[in-house]
Structure 1
């Protein structure tokens, strides 16, 4: 700002441009906002203080003209405002409504972190969740109502279980989780969404770089966690017990709400997926232990309906 002010002062002091600047200053003084400012502070301003403040008045007027013309300004995203400081005219810059909204949207995006999730989760909204006559099935309506109930009653210091959304491909399980996360962000609640099969692969690869522990910590401590597509791929004993089990144990002990989506019901997940590892070994006790934590952290809802992916 100082360099701009000095440049303006030099321009106004130059002999060759003095006459032109007088014409410009006539425009400046005729500006409604400049007039309103001078009228508001006429008791504190005299001719000399106004003369000394000409460069600031010009700066204010000039920046407004640039903004109006859509040209580059000294402070992009900010609008100038006149103020009186210790009896001297000055210009301050405040964020525009567009900048405030852009920052707000960026803040919301930062509250929803995702790991290996599709791009559409950023655009998912509860308003975009199909509930028309054709798609408003009992299960979809029940899930929608349960999500809204969770959002309305969520308190960081009071445990509320999340949801375990089960159903066939394309009924909107992942979309509803994403819409829930985006809605929670509007209430300043941070959510982490994880595509669990992809995360499991990532965890295996991170063993070589000694990053497994930090990755698990980042997920398990999320204020609200959403594990998408549980049961989509065969799970090794290590992933089941030392990754998923560790995450769920921590969240159960800390009473942190957790959401799940799966093509398996809870019963199917336990008996057909968690109990049989990728080597074909059957371990029902360990599966039951994992399932106990899932049931503590969430409530099961079956979403029925046609495959919405066919809608494009």
Structure 2
């Protein structure tokens, strides 16, 4: 099992070279009764650390202690009892339900959506071709090994969605062996919050990321077409034609990006956990400011949320 050590203090992370692995105030998860511990999808690291966390702390006096990994790595940590956070979030709502329902929780709330695309450094040869309007898949097929990064598909829905996007793009644009070509070329980053660090350090030219990640890093972004951006509910049937099986045997079908959250049944501070989840639902502007989308169908409950969660 490959689970990256991806948690550092907020101040240290901001000072590190291009790192976006952000943690809360130094300390263990659930350190004090006035803290709420969070184990979250890595793509939400800056959303929580720069937007939700400070506002939540100001509104409630609860301190946020966050750890951020690929969502499948989050599920593995919870299942193995490596971590017992108050709040768990996932970038794939179905993944959380498949992995944690019946043992850790029996409810969740969906609170935001996202879309997939290519973030890039315009100063590179690859980036200049993208900026000139050359189709991304032509540029990608010509890329040098390691020039483009994706998240590790065995640890992270962003990674397996990138692989699925290669399949869907091949069908959409008539590209022969595109998935195989790309998997031979891309670098697979095991720590999702560091996916864009390679671009910022000059080691890579581009990465397949969610829209909010490009916004947070102020990088140019080419959103994929609805046929494979995983952000269009009307294309859900098309997404479902592809799948990926992780190294631990979980098969994820293609589905729109939906973020959800729950409170661990054995949370150390369940009251604080419920307050954080409710705060997410009550403050969609914090999420849209971070580059996420909150459509009219959100928030939405699945299962029966406990008292204190009003959807």
**TM-score category (smaller protein):** under 0.3
TM-score, normalised by the number of residues in structure 2: 0.26
TM-score, normalised by the number of residues in structure 1: 0.26
Q: Which has the higher helix share?
A: 1
Q: Which has the higher strand share?
A: 2
Rg larger for: 1
Instruction: Using CA pairs under 8 Å that are at least 6 residues apart, name the structure with larger relative contact order, 1 or 2.
Output: 2
